[in-house]
Structure 1
Amino acid sequence: MNTLGYAILSALGRKPCSGYELVQYLDAVWPAKHSQIYPRLSKMEQNGLLVFEEVVQTGKPDKKIFSITEKGRETLEKWVTESPSDPIMRDEFLIKINSIWLSDEESAKKLIQDRISNLEQKVAYRADTIAELEQKHRENTMSKHFGRYLLFNRRNMMDKEEISWCEWVLNLLEKTNFNISKLMLWLIGAGKLNLVIQNMMAVSEI
């Protein structure tokens, strides 16, 4: 079992899901593509960790609704108590930031502005879900949905923090009229470059 398998069990422990619903749910926990999820579902079904019910649909392909088994629940329960591995973070944006000295000022601004736009869309998209979870599950720590409430708030807080950082960078570029080379020299000279990268790694997705 890899981590994706445990993420799937975690989702199904909350409620039965179709493969499509799993892709959406896992986006907040352990993002994966359909091509990764469906083969894993098949193996987990063979190992008795989950079962599925085939639902006949009119005018479109039938779908499978997956549910966790008792064996799957026991496997997940045992795994939950183990210490997690160190997080793995890969974000192309951070590589571009680390090499931003090769860019011109306008291109650098666009890179940051696009990041802000993308993050703001994600924050807005989560708003309704967070409001619903807030109303139903905030005070009930034993609810199967409580963890989802915590995760969505965590992601929004992290994205909002990164938006603030991006706005700080834009303000620095516009206010000081530094070109990219001067900005990097300033960050390096102030001993802040590594701190900036570390902070961004701490708040970027997953």
Structure 2
Amino acid sequence: MKIGNEDRMNTLGYAILSVLGRKPCSGYQLASYLELLWPAKHSQIYPLLSKMEQNGLLVFEHVEQTGKPDKKIYSITEKGREALGTWVTTEEPGYPIIRDEFLIKMYSMWTTDENNAKKLIQDRISKLKLKVTLREKKIAKVENEQVETVSEHFGRYVLLHRSNLLDNEEISWCHWVLKLIENSNVIKLLLGIISAGAFNKIVQGVTFFSEL
């Protein structure tokens, strides 16, 4: 299927189609599922859903709820599936851009003291460990569904594993950085002791010669 200019959208749009291709869901649920693929805010998701609906890539149905506002359940259309399939086989231009505020802070550690630097890294480790733990529960749940390479759960399964591998690698890297900082402190301490010892020897030498 050739995608017309009116149907063209950003990567978030294809991520939405990918989620809806697995099962219909609300905009709120979409935001949760997209965390694994392409994190986005509700303010980004809802306007795009409206545009995609107008272009025939998805449809929705109103679901009445008691005691709270009605919600829309979105599902992918045949046109949406064809657009997604075409995009999947399109060559990716260049390399993906990864933006992570933590990396800038690490690069700028020289502006703070060692205690703050260590806290920054330790906080990162705690957050990563929590993410890994929660993800492991999701992996176990998918494994119980007997994942096959042709199933709709396979992509989610391998991406969950990929995310855990990357996060565990970063946890190891964070511990390595902490060890560098601690070793640096030990070296500074040893140099301080050596310097103090050398100073004492100088003082002792001056005192010895002055008594001659």
TM-score class, shorter-chain normalisation, is 0.7 to 0.9
Counterpart pick for 1:157 among 149, 165, 178:
165
Residues 105 and 179, structure 1, Cα contact 8 Å, conserved in 2: no
Structure-2 residue corresponding to 1:183: none
2:22 maps to 1:14? yes
Residues 49 and 68, structure 1, Cα contact 8 Å, conserved in 2: yes
Residues 55 and 63, structure 1, Cα contact 8 Å, conserved in 2: yes
Following TM superposition, by how much is the alpha carbon of 1:83 offset from its aligned partner in structure 2, in angstroms?
Answer: 1.7
**Letter aligned with residue 87 of structure 2:** W
Q: Check 1:5–1:179 CA distance in 2 against 1; reply closer, same or farther (3 A cut).
A: farther
**Letter aligned with residue 71 of structure 1:** K
Aligned residues: 179
Following TM superposition, by how much is the alpha carbon of 1:175 offset from its aligned partner in structure 2, in angstroms?
Answer: 3.0
Q: Secondary structure at the match of 2:151?
A: coil
Structure-2 residue corresponding to 1:91: 100
TM-score normalized by the length of structure 2:
0.81
2:112 maps to 1:107? no
Counterpart pick for 1:73 among 81, 91, 109:
81
**Letter aligned with residue 112 of structure 1:** I
Structure 2: how far apart are the matches of 1:179 and 1:20?
52
The RMSD of aligned alpha carbons is 1.5
Structure 1: how far apart are the matches of 2:166 and 2:186?
28
Following TM superposition, by how much is the alpha carbon of 1:158 offset from its aligned partner in structure 2, in angstroms?
Answer: 0.4
Following TM superposition, by how much is the alpha carbon of 1:134 offset from its aligned partner in structure 2, in angstroms?
Answer: 1.9
Structure-2 residue corresponding to 1:192: none
Structure index of larger Rg? 2
Give runs of ≥4 in structure 1 deviating > 4 Å. none
**Letter aligned with residue 172 of structure 1:** L
Structure-2 residue corresponding to 1:40: 48
Structure-1 residue corresponding to 2:191: none
Counterpart pick for 1:51 among 35, 59, 68:
59
Q: Secondary structure at the match of 1:142?
A: coil
**Letter aligned with residue 95 of structure 1:** I
Q: Check 1:73–1:175 CA distance in 2 against 1; reply closer, same or farther (3 A cut).
A: same
Structure 1: how far apart are the matches of 2:119 and 2:137?
29
Q: Secondary structure at the match of 1:17?
A: coil
Task: Specify every segment of 5 or more residues in structure 2 that has no aligned partner in the other structure, as ranges.
Answer: 1-8, 189-212
**Letter aligned with residue 18 of structure 2:** S
**Percentage of identical aligned residues:** 67
2:127 maps to 1:118? yes
